[in-house]
Amino acid sequence: MIRWPYKLVECPPEAVKDAVADDYWQRYREGLKGLSTEQKLDKLRSYLDDGILWSRDTTGYLQYELRVSNYINALKRGGQLDSDLKVVR
């Protein structure tokens, strides 16, 4: 994947903080270290797909979206993605 195709979710910082405090997400996120940006995007898309399967309601899925959006924004801040969410490096 060379560009993130999904819209990023925006929420108050408190909601993001609560979403990323999940142990499974933290282990998943740590597993992305060392991968190329393209591989990270593929894994994040798979994580969202899992969210669709395992979330019983829209609030549960929103947690998945918040985690991924937060990670994508970190990739932007780090210079791996440009403002159009295309892979730079």
Backbone angles phi, psi at 3, to 5 degrees: -150, 140
Q: What is the pLDDT of residues 26-62, one digit of tens each?
A: 999 999 999 999 999 999 999 999 988 877 777 789 9
CA–CA gap between residue 37 and residue 87 (Å, rounded): 7
Predicted pLDDT at 32? 98
Q: What is the pLDDT of residues 54-86, one digit of tens each?
A: 777 777 899 999 999 999 999 999 999 999 999
CA–CA gap between residue 31 and residue 40 (Å, rounded): 9
Spans of all domains in the chain: 13-77
